[in-house]
Structure 1
Amino acid sequence: MTRRGRGSTGPGRPSALPPDNYEAPPLVREDAAGGLVVDFRGEDERQWSFDVGTLPMPGWHPLLAEALALRIGSSGDIKTLSGARDSWGTTGRWARFLATVFPPPATPDDLVRAHVEAFHKDADASEHTRFSDMRELRMLFGHKQVRGRLPADAWDAFNRRLPKPKSKAVGGYSNGEFDRLAAAARADTARIVRRIRAGEQLVQQFRSDPGQLAPQQRELAATLTGIADTGEVPDLDSGLDRRRRRAELASHLFLTWNDIAPLMALLALVTERNGETLKELPAKHRILEDRAVELVIVKRRRGAKRWFETVTWEIGPKSRELHTAGGLYLLLLELTDRSRGFCGSSSAICFWRNGPRGLKGREEHYAPFDTDLSYGHPVSLSAWAASRTKPVLADPRQAPAAKKGEDKPGSEGKPSVEAPRPLRVTFNMIKTSADVRRTKQLGGHLPSSAKSNTAQVLFTNYLRNDETTREWAEEVMTEALEDAEQAAWDAHTRAVGRRGEPTVLPDAESAKDLEDSGIAPQTAREVAEGELDTAWTACEDHDHHPETGTACGDSFLACFHCGNCLVTRTHLPRLLALLKALGTLRERMSEDAWWERYGPAWVAIRRDILAKFTPAQVDKARQKPLPDALLDLVEDPWDQP
């Protein structure tokens, strides 16, 4: 089985098969001490061995080892080392918990529902840990080869639905915080670039013409040339500052661990990718016409056989290499080229480490994320941002108002501004902020905004919990509603200009009141007796439309834009009932359809007709039971708009 990877199969090239005497390795093996061990090998070639023999409750070891092997083995669902470690952590917590129970269930046959319930309600664990552990145990014990070996009552306790705990919202940065963070990352990366390029230039000058260098520079250049050839950083002295002096000397040609944080922060800002993807950037790439760089990146948690994605990043001009994804990627390869050559890694991120655990020479050059994405400890972006000469600060927040007696006289109840604090920097917050910015630039259209995730994942995990996104969305919705209302008002105004303005008589109720308002006696009597009423108002002359001069055939909703329309105090309850019904209907329809169908009438009632009644008149009518809105009179099949 020597052929592997893309291109190893195809027409006429069948899949590589193991030899006839091949035997698959066992799911669980025994170590020299007789303990059970489960080996893991992920799709990213990262490996680890989990020693079940180190756990308590030996009567459970065979079942736990088999369940873990089925979960993280070649046929299991877990394909990453981090996922395997999470499953192992749950397994260990379960075994240690069982050891504290009195009397402990010595074997799986002794397990009862009460044990599972007690584990789920363990007060020493957080709510999120309890939920994730119960979910993982259900997956561990849910395999058909394992499930039947647990008592039915205990398995039923594992197999129930549990309410998911509320996760803490992870928002992004404000525009000011994002810009300050980007400026700091670019400034520190630029200093790293100048430092290493200056060292490379010294090496080149020493090799071409050492006589042109000053004596002090010549001595440093000679030392750096030796380091460049061998990869070994010499000890300049044996004092207490030996390690610091070695690190300073190595930093002329190589990246050090202190350089990783600003570089990765800038990579996250420019490429808009998460930290896991950036840690696994490959050195292998292809340049397309000096305009873009093409490479294959890893995007985890996408399911089997969907880990890899081919991306194309713009290079841009040399002066903008810190602003474009392709330019920054090529710059990273330039800075790590020597260390990569000495350690032989295919990863883009390589650096020089200062002799940990007695390592010397070329072994000090290292690709930190080849074997473990956490490299023993995470990249501390927050520590870098806070330890800079000019720290990256968060936006000042308003402190709560001072209580009486707690502050100087005259300041009671007055809010104050807290002192600026260092900005908390994480890859998740950078990714969220970048997604928010891109979504805003594209007008909020999620399918177009989704870059490395689906539109659903983009909204659920990045946009929904971000405060700036909510504020922006509320602002956009407010502006859209204002535009829609203004468009409806303009339509009402144009119709009134053609047909005349409705007559509103808020104080008229009897025929005499109507006559005193200028209405013809016969019309006033008919209006007072309700003979001219339509659905919500009265019509003075139904037989003569203001525009056509013929009998009116318009919808009742068009009455609010017509000069024949007459509104009195008796019509007010019906108008309020119509507004309420339109509000309910708005919740069931799309905004566009509602504004097109009902918007002009709604605006005419709210801004033109009701505005001529006093607030007291409106409140009095609203306190009484409202009549039926009669909306069916303007809906199919009665009325075709």
Structure 2
Amino acid sequence: MMPPEIPSQRRRTGRGRVSPQPEGFYEPEIVREEAGPVVEFFGEDGRRATYSFAELPCPGLHADLAAAWARRTSPTGDGLRTHAAATYAWAVIGRLVRWLGELARPPRTLRGLTLSHLRRFDQHRRMTIQATSAVLEMAQVRALLREVEPAGLLREEVREYLDRPGQLYGRWREVNSKEPPPGYSDREFAAIMAAARKDVVAIRQRLRASRMLIERFETAPHTLSEVERARAEELARMLRTGEVPPPMKAKGNGGHLPDLAAQRDCAGQVFLTTQDLPALMVLGVGLSGRNGETIKELTAEFRVLDGRAVAVNLVKRRRNKARTRRTIHWEVGSESSRLHTPGGWFLLLNELAESSRVFSGSERVWSIWTGDTAGGPEEFKAARSAAKGHIDPFGLKLGRQFEWNKWVARHGLTVDASDEEAEPEPLVLTMNRLKKTAEVRTTRAVGGHLPSASRTNTPDVSFLHYLRNDPTIRDWAEEILTEALEDTEASARAFRGRILDEQTAKEAGHDPAAAAEKLGTTVDKLTAAMGGELDTLVASCLDFEHSPQNGGGLCNVSFLTCLRCPNALVAERHLPKMFALLRWLQSELDARGVDDWIARHGITWLIITRLILPKFTEAQQEQARANASEKLPTELLDGLKEPL
């Protein structure tokens, strides 16, 4: 039994004193045992969740899967940092375990999980949902199983399947060959922004007029008429208490029932409401070029710098963790141009939402009044009730749905007509296309210099995902294509192959095992590659039977894609054919338009000239150039074909 603590011996706190701390290391209790394992999730976005395995079948899998799930959702996990991401992944895992439980012989432990199980589940999901969605679901399954410790709990065939490179990229390309839609045309973008700006101006005038009336009521009530005083008193009461009393419907039309539409309109005189969100979102994305999720996560903390710029805290979830949060500076502009600059838009949003944030307690800049009697999930109803109907619209769920088609129809937005006599079609509005349009316009404004244009993404992401396939960029690039643009685009080319340069070739001569390990292959495959046994057109293939560009099966794609594949190995003896290929590519450029040539061969040309040849010495290149054959077997460029 410990002796009683003497008051004079207690550690006291104070300035300059170290706070008393418990002994040992603190480890949060992430996995709890109740009826089954329960995993607590604490998202970086401030949202929390509890995931219980007790509701799932196959109890023999629960403990190991729960431990893997806890590791994946921990602060050091592989990317499940938000409530939305974790809930999506959890839904996928739940579907897998429930499907396993319905089998005639479900696995009793993880050791009983076979590769056949995973492939059959993949096939089952493809029969239920779109193939692209099934690819993403299987990526979630693999990510969880990679967290299983020790790895020996899984069969060897399953571990080999999980370690196979390029699965997501290859399967995605296999089932999703369609190019993403381009950004909006200049006319479409101008119409979208004009509609959003018109709505935001109306919102600003509505709220400012009410506040001016309240100010007159409080400072000079004698200047108001009796009707104006009554209205101002009602508005002031709402602004002070946050409560919006519902007017009653007239008799004969549902009398003695609250008129919710009138209540919403009344609240809209002093607070933002749900109907205000679409225009504010569109204007924010269109002016800043940021994606919708980033705009939704804007915090209420900011600093105005000399009245010319505002420092805003951003959250971009897809960046690495060290760069998830950052501070950027947005131009504010003059008073007359506030709705044409991202900083001016942010300051206005902060002003308009401020009266509602007092009651919602939102840490983000967003806050609206929605009422405390509407439906929805219990957590939403509880949040509304606790804050008198005021909420952060993206606080509990980032993926709030908008009825964009209604907003588009209200403003009569249409696509550019290819036929002047045809009936104009309604425009399809998405935040991704709007962001892409902003990227394109910025790139054109800075003369195509990607490092200057890429304010929201790295240059390679900007080019590959936003700019490369946009028709306005292609048309414009034909006129101003310069070597500077080509040099910048080189960083956007994803080269994942391996190069047997002069130093590595020497290492392979006296220590093949070390060279093979350095290149990420085996001694046998390295030896076969160096002997020419694994040659394709201008490289060696280290794993022809497992192509990441063909879903892990036998490779059947064009030899021109070899240089983009992680299975490729380029050695000095491939250089003569590589120079012959460059000559053929030049002849193709002479025969085609610039945009067509870039789409077909630009990536291959840039990989060779910017990423492969610099790895070899000038002497090696000169000798290879001299030995390059005049004719290349171009009939093989599209891959091997069966004889007719």
Q: Equivalent of 2:115, from 113, 118, 124?
A: 113
CA distance in 2, matches of 1:172, 1:330: 27
Higher relative contact order (CA 8 A, sep 6+): 2
Q: 1:590 to 1:464 in 2, by over 3 A?
A: closer
Deviation of residue 342 (structure 1)? 1.9
Q: 1:101 to 1:316 in 2, by over 3 A?
A: same
Deviation of residue 290 (structure 1)? 1.4
* Correspondence 1:483-498 to 2 at 5 A: none
Q: Equivalent of 1:367, from 392, 415, 419?
A: 392
Q: Work out whether 1:280 is the aligned partner of 2:291.
A: no
* Correspondence 1:436-585 to 2 at 5 A: 436-477=440-481, 584=583
Q: Which residue of 1 aligns with 2:225?
A: 214
Deviation of residue 586 (structure 1)? 6.9
Q: Work out whether 1:255 is the aligned partner of 2:272.
A: yes
Letter in 1 for 2:294: T
CA distance in 2, matches of 1:291, 1:234: 41
Mapped contact 2:196–2:280 kept (Cα < 8 A): yes
TM-score computed with the length of structure 2 as normaliser: 0.66
Residues 15-38 of structure 1 show CA distances to partners (whole Å, capped at 9, x for unaligned) of 99963155423342123xx12211
Q: Work out whether 1:393 is the aligned partner of 2:414.
A: yes
Q: Work out whether 1:80 is the aligned partner of 2:76.
A: no
Mapped contact 1:265–1:381 kept (Cα < 8 A): no
Q: Which runs of 5+ in 2 are unaligned?
A: 1-15, 250-254, 375-380, 485-579, 591-624, 627-644
Mapped contact 1:196–1:254 kept (Cα < 8 A): yes
Q: Which residue of 2 aligns with 1:427?
A: 431
Mapped contact 2:371–2:388 kept (Cα < 8 A): no
Q: How many residues align?
A: 462
Deviation of residue 426 (structure 1)? 1.4
SS of 2:413's equivalent in the other structure is: coil
CA distance in 1, matches of 2:324, 2:589: 38
CA distance in 1, matches of 2:140, 2:585: 44
SS of 1:48's equivalent in the other structure is: strand
Letter in 2 for 1:196: L
Q: Equivalent of 1:236, from 243, 247, 257?
A: 247
Mapped contact 1:46–1:371 kept (Cα < 8 A): yes
Q: Equivalent of 2:172, from 155, 158, 165?
A: 165
Letter in 2 for 1:64: L
Mapped contact 2:289–2:435 kept (Cα < 8 A): yes
Q: 1:144 to 1:364 in 2, by over 3 A?
A: closer
Residues 552-572 of structure 1 show CA distances to partners (whole Å, capped at 9, x for unaligned) of xxxxxxxxxxxxxxxxxxxxx
Q: Which residue of 1 aligns with 2:192?
A: 181
Q: 1:16 to 1:382 in 2, by over 3 A?
A: farther
Q: 1:85 to 1:360 in 2, by over 3 A?
A: closer
SS of 2:327's equivalent in the other structure is: strand
Deviation of residue 585 (structure 1)? 7.0
Q: 1:465 to 1:90 in 2, by over 3 A?
A: farther
CA distance in 1, matches of 2:387, 2:73: 35
Deviation of residue 74 (structure 1)? 2.9
Which deviates further from its counterpart, 292-301 or 353-362?
A: 353-362
CA distance in 1, matches of 2:69, 2:582: 56
Letter in 1 for 2:27: A
* Correspondence 1:598-637 to 2 at 5 A: none
Deviation of residue 383 (structure 1)? 3.3
Structure number, greater radius of gyration? 1
Mapped contact 1:171–1:429 kept (Cα < 8 A): yes
Mapped contact 1:134–1:158 kept (Cα < 8 A): no
* Correspondence 1:9-20 to 2 at 5 A: 19-20=22-23
Mapped contact 1:257–1:353 kept (Cα < 8 A): yes
Mapped contact 1:138–1:159 kept (Cα < 8 A): no
SS of 2:347's equivalent in the other structure is: helix
CA distance in 1, matches of 2:196, 2:44: 33
CA distance in 2, matches of 1:80, 1:294: 24
SS of 1:148's equivalent in the other structure is: helix
Q: 1:19 to 1:378 in 2, by over 3 A?
A: farther
SS of 2:143's equivalent in the other structure is: helix
CA distance in 1, matches of 2:437, 2:33: 49
Mapped contact 2:298–2:365 kept (Cα < 8 A): yes
Mapped contact 1:262–1:381 kept (Cα < 8 A): no
Deviation of residue 172 (structure 1)? 0.8
Deviation of residue 429 (structure 1)? 0.7
Q: Equivalent of 2:157, from 153, 157, 173?
A: 153
Residues 188-247 of structure 1 show CA distances to partners (whole Å, capped at 9, x for unaligned) of 100011111111111111112223223322221111111111111112225456111111
Q: Which residue of 1 aligns with 2:404?
A: 381
Letter in 2 for 1:450: S
CA distance in 1, matches of 2:320, 2:369: 34
Q: Which residue of 2 aligns with 1:529?
A: none
SS of 2:348's equivalent in the other structure is: helix
CA distance in 2, matches of 1:36, 1:363: 37
Q: 1:113 to 1:330 in 2, by over 3 A?
A: closer
SS of 1:295's equivalent in the other structure is: strand
Letter in 1 for 2:401: P
CA distance in 2, matches of 1:348, 1:133: 33
Residues 264-288 of structure 1 show CA distances to partners (whole Å, capped at 9, x for unaligned) of 1101111111111111112211111
Mapped contact 1:28–1:37 kept (Cα < 8 A): yes
CA distance in 1, matches of 2:418, 2:64: 54
Deviation of residue 339 (structure 1)? 0.6
| Identical positions, percent | 36
CA distance in 2, matches of 1:88, 1:21: 33
CA distance in 2, matches of 1:174, 1:15: 62
Which deviates further from its counterpart, 255-264 or 168-177?
A: 168-177
Q: Work out whether 1:202 is the aligned partner of 2:213.
A: yes
CA distance in 1, matches of 2:472, 2:405: 21
TM-score computed with the length of structure 1 as normaliser: 0.66
Q: 1:272 to 1:157 in 2, by over 3 A?
A: closer
CA distance in 1, matches of 2:291, 2:182: 15
